[in-house]
Chains A and B, each alone.
Chain A
Amino acid sequence: MTARALINAPKEAKRGEVITIKTLISHEMETGFRYDNSGKLLPRDIINLFVCTYNGVEIFRAELHPAVSANPFIEFHAVATDSGKLEFKWSGDNGFSATESVTITVI
């Protein structure tokens, strides 16, 4: 399964600056409460965990439930400490896993 992930984070930030990170990933987030046209219950298929690491250190973690909209959008903040890599990982039902990363230069 390929999922398209979009990250919006500044490429450059001053040391100590609070940056805004916006993440969006394509995923249906099937709730497990809907029926198809033949009346069969559609099994739950959601992303249930999102983790962001900054140079290997976890800075943000979110547990998602079926009430999160399709194509989950999460916006959060972080203090720019060092230049390096922001890594994002989504995981969920049916072995779903997706990763994305961006680099940041701290001046």
Chain B
Amino acid sequence: MVAHHDTKRATRRGFLLGAAQLAGGVGLLSIFPCSESRALPDMLQAAIKKVAGSAPLLKGKVKLGLPPMVENGNAVSVEVSVESPMTPGDHVKAIHIFNEKNPQPNVLGVRLGPHSGKARVSTRMRLVTTQQVIAIAEMSDGSFWSDAADIFVALAACQEDPG
């Protein structure tokens, strides 16, 4: 009888433990979403398609510099650098910055060339909420490379009183 009772308890404990692990796992997933597998909003996909067409977005070469967390989304420093010799035969033609959750997906699009010497651009952007930022570089050979980063925004842009 006692043994039976113990088994029952063990089962219930096991169940609770399993449930807790599952919940923990789901929680972890939502805190650290995997950039690769996350579905991008239609508007962002359309904006990327407008830039890259049907060309595949290759991983690497592009480095998106973004703070992991900001207090204020009104002016977030962002730097995109691309590995390239920047010669007439092999250079970066354009760099585009996109965001996932602002009302509009585009942030900045720049055109450069061998006269730039270095494929690196910095600016400050607005972010309405915690989200993913994507940078895409167009190379002179027609290939497209990208990088993505997640950023936590404590205080959203566009929420302040315009006065």
Measuring CB to CB, which residues of chain A are less than 8 angstroms from any residue of chain B? Answer: 18-19, 31, 33-37, 42, 54, 57, 59-70, 72-79, 81
Contacts and interface: CB of A to CB of B under 8 A. Distances in A.
A10 to B, nearest CB: 13
Nearest to B112: A60
B42 to A, nearest CB: 18
A18 B117 contact: yes
A62 B124 contact: no
Interface string B88-124: 0000000000010011101111111111111011111
Contacts of B125: 67-69
A63 B42 CA distance: 22
Contact of B162 (A19, A34, A65, A68): A34
B117 A75 contact: no
Contact of B108 (A18, A59, A63): A63
The main secondary structure of chain A at its interface with chain B is strand
7 contacts: A33-B103, A35-B162, A64-B108, A67-B99, A68-B123, A69-B74, A72-B124
A54 B115 contact: yes
Interface of B: 74-76, 79, 99, 102-104, 106-118, 120-127, 157-158, 161-163
A53 B141 CA distance: 25
Contacts of B114: 79
B118 A77 contact: yes
A65 B127 CA distance: 12
B29 to A, nearest CB: 27
A73 B108 CA distance: 11
A37 B74 contact: no
B103 A77 contact: no
Contacts of B124: 68-69, 72-73
Contacts of B108: 62-65, 67-68, 74
A42 B160 CA distance: 13
Contacts of B107: 65, 67-68
Contacts of A18: 117-118
A61 B103 CA distance: 24
Contacts of B163: 37
Given A18-B117, A31-B126, A67-B102, A76 B110 contact: yes
A63 B115 contact: no
Contacts of B75: 69-70
Given A61-B111, A69-B75, A79 B158 contact: no
A72 B116 contact: no
